[in-house]
């Protein structure tokens, strides 16, 4: 694929609920509404190719079929979680790095399908303007698995949304960090630790903070992320969203796999 603009690339895989397709739809439409023709848009997927090909065609997005054939395929054990989800897709999420990037010559943003923007993000604009550093998403908690090589001990990072600047050799740096542990059968936390270790060790980077993009889990928001933990309360029964006035978007973590995700239900009902 040849690109004339910065690339915005969604990645979507298997081991997910039917809701994941609606999440992707909302994510795509939210980005289109805000950024219009700023990017060349790409959809990378490793399962249900016929559906996602038609989805990409409908939205005039480049369709990218991920191939589970490169060296990263050896870092993740097949069939570990498949029996739980009754699918043939590998467990964990290292498939996101197949390939690590597709637009090395230009800016590339990699986005999980459970990210929804509601307004323009200043850090993305700076990333596109300066073209000299990545951006990374803050997480309220450390979730790194075997790969905790982060230089910051009081700030934590999430791999669901990140930007790679032109000519940044992300592939080589991923392999270097991986070689320091060499763990196989990598799971979701290992993938996050690996990617964020690379990005947080750059000399400079833009940080999309947890206030700018809260990570909303299925049952609660961390006490470190603006709101108290909520147990046994339907969030759509009262107005929680005024707590997020500074948010440019939301990361509905776990909404692809958890049958009950109260914040996604609330967001869908309010249609923010």
Q: Tens of pLDDT along the chain (272 residues)?
A: 789 999 999 999 876 678 889 999 999 999 999 999 999 999 999 888 999 999 999 999 999 998 766 667 667 655 444 343 344 444 567 888 888 999 999 999 999 999 999 999 999 999 999 999 999 999 999 999 999 999 999 999 999 999 999 999 999 999 999 989 887 777 888 899 999 999 999 999 999 999 999 998 865 444 444 443 333 334 433 455 666 778 999 999 888 877 778 788 778 777 65
The answer to the question of residue 72 being in a domain is yes
Q: With contact defined as beta carbons under 8 Å apart, do 89 and 15 qualify?
A: yes
The answer to the question of residue 242 being in a domain is no
**The domain containing residue 88 runs over which residues?**
7-211
Report the C-alpha gap between 234 and 23 in whole angstroms. 20
The answer to the question of residue 251 being in a domain is no
Report the C-alpha gap between 34 and 46 in whole angstroms. 27
CATH number for the domain including 62? 3.90.550.10
The answer to the question of residue 153 being in a domain is yes
Q: With contact defined as beta carbons under 8 Å apart, do 139 and 210 qualify?
A: yes
The answer to the question of residue 244 being in a domain is no
Q: Structurally, how many domains does the chain consist of?
A: 1
pTM of the model: 0.87
Q: Which of 140, 142, 118 is nearest to 223 (CA)?
A: 140
Report the C-alpha gap between 237 and 258 in whole angstroms. 20
The answer to the question of residue 65 being in a domain is yes
The answer to the question of residue 179 being in a domain is yes
Report the C-alpha gap between 26 and 199 in whole angstroms. 27
The answer to the question of residue 261 being in a domain is no
Q: Is the dihedral of CA 72, 76, 79, 81 positive or negative?
A: negative
Q: With contact defined as beta carbons under 8 Å apart, do 171 and 100 qualify?
A: yes
Q: Which residues, other chains included, contact 216 with Cβ-Cβ below 8 Å and sequence gap of 6+?
A: 250, 251, 252, 253, 263, 264
């Amino acid at each position: 694929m040849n690109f004339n603009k910065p690339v915005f690339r969604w990645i979507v895989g298997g081991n997910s609920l039917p809701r994941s397709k609606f999440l992707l739809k909302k994510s795509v439409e939210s980005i289109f509404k805000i950024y219009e023709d700023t990017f060349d848009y790409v959809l990378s997927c490793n399962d249900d190719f016929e559906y996602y090909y038609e989805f990409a065609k409908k939205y005039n997005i480049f369709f990218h079929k991920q191939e589970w054939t490169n060296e990263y395929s050896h870092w993740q054990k097949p069939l570990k979680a498949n029996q739980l989800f009754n699918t043939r897709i590998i467990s964990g999420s290292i498939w996101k790095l197949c390939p690590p990037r597709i637009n090395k010559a230009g800016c590339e943003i990699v986005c999980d399908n459970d990210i929804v923007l509601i307004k323009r993000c200043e850090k993305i604009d700076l990333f596109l303007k300066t073209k000299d550093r990545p951006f990374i998403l803050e997480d309220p908690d450390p979730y790194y698995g075997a790969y905790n090589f982060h230089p910051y001990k009081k700030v934590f990072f999430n791999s669901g949304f990140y930007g790679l600047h032109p000519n940044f050799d992300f592939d080589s740096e991923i392999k270097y960090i991986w070689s320091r542990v060499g763990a196989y059968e990598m799971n979701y936390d290992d993938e996050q630790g690996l990617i964020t270790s690379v990005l947080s060790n750059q000399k400079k980077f833009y940080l999309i903070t947890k206030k700018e993009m809260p990570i909303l889990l299925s049952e609660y928001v961390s006490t470190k992320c603006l709101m108290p933990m909520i147990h046994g309360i339907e969030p759509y029964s009262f107005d929680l969203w005024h707590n997020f006035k500074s948010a440019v978007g939301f990361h509905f973590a776990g909404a692809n796999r958890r049958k009950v995700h109260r914040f996604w239900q609330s967001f869908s009902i309010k249609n923010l």
